Amino acid sequence: MSDDEPDLELLALLRQHLQGKLTISEEPETGVLEGAEYVYDNSIDVALDMRSCKNAAAAIHSQMQLKQYSPATWSAHELHPDTKDESTVAFIFTMDLLNFSFWSDKPESERFAISYRDRRWTGYWSLVAALQRALDEGIPITDSHFWQDEEECTLETLRQVFRSCTDEEMPMLAERLECLREAGNVLYEKYQCSPSNLITAANGSAAALVNLLARDFRCFRDEHRFEGRRKPIRLLKRAQIFVADVWACFEGQGYGEFRDIDKITMFADYRVPQMLYGLGCLAYSPPLDAAVRDKKELPAGGSWELQLRGCSIWCIELIRREIKRQHPEAEVNAILIDFFLYDTIKQLESAGQESIPHHRTRSIWY
């Protein structure tokens, strides 16, 4: 097209606009994927191997098909709630409010663990088991009114709720109490003490719900400065996993119905990066590799930690795109890939087959 020829497509858009027929999408975005791509583009200590990502996509899709992996898999676990009502939403909200920092450097037999239903639970499952046990014992641990009661909901109360069957106490109990207290106050002031009302306020948008959590609750605001970028990097692990857990629990219906659920990314923690490394998708610089293998604690919000988390989000996005490219009919998103990889690395851990330790960072973000 020469400079003298009109741009017919642009003219058509202008006519639609002038006639009031052109609508600009105002659908919310979380900004997590955008930030993750920026981290990937500017990382010097974490890299992606594209051939391994393609191979991983094929293997992950094959295994997920074989195991019939779907949102229904979430409810199949014996500790996850059986009911599908407001009390379930409250349970999931409490669970993801406290879903952080379970790792221990102690041997498996000595690490923090919960004894419940004749089994010993560690890691994330220790949290779910402790919440279920507390409800069985009549402690209203999922009630935001209880969180606001400074005489009833105390550090000693949490020590009782999360009492361990070993000598190691649950990490960061004081921080967990602070999260409960803050969330109780926000729910009281803005959402009539109901996490369900928070979902209603998002108007069927997963991205909007993530943004509400990050805006209104400081303890969900998982945002960090990285390499001089003017805008903070948004990782929002726990805000996103709350949306994902509700979606999976309700299997995309009722409280779990979100028109844009595929905008949710993977949940940047320490387990999925470990799995991606084992698959050859992530590569670390020698200093970072040595620090992870030596189980040195990486500072929260530091460059190494943000590279690990951001590159993992972008890696899972590339794997998701590759699966969809090879199998357009596949019902797969970053949530299901994350859930699948998390379950897989926990199985490998139980069998002592991890290729590298997970990185160590203490924070409330994951």
For residues 265 and 236, what is the distance between their CA atoms, to the nearest angstrom? 9
| Rg of the chain (C-alpha set) | 22
Helices (DSSP H) in 98-154: which residue ranges?
124-136, 144-148
Residue of 96, 216, 245, 269 marked active site: 269
- Residue 100 host element (H or E): none
For residues 336 and 343, what is the distance between their CA atoms, to the nearest angstrom? 11
For 283, which DSSP code?
A: E
Pairing of strands 114-116, 282-284: unpaired
The structure tokens listed for 132 are 């279920």
Which residues have CB under 8 Å from 14's CB, separation 6+? Answer: none
45 in active site:
no
**134 burial type by CB count under 10 A (0-12 exposed, 13-18 middle, 19+ buried):** buried
Using CA atoms, how far residue 83 sits from 86, 90, 209, 236, in Å, is 9, 11, 22, 27
Rounded to 5 degrees, what are φ and ψ at 326?
-80, -30
Helix, strand, or coil (residue 47): strand
| DSSP one-letter string for 214-228 | HHH-GGG--EE--TT
For residues 338 and 262, what is the distance between their CA atoms, to the nearest angstrom? 13
Contact between 310 and 43 under an 8 Å Cβ cutoff? The reply is yes
Q: Which of 225, 357, 233, 234 is nearest to 302 (CA)?
A: 225
**115 burial type by CB count under 10 A (0-12 exposed, 13-18 middle, 19+ buried):** middle
Q: Which of 341, 361, 335 is nearest to 32 (CA)?
A: 335
Q: Which residues are catalytic?
A: 269
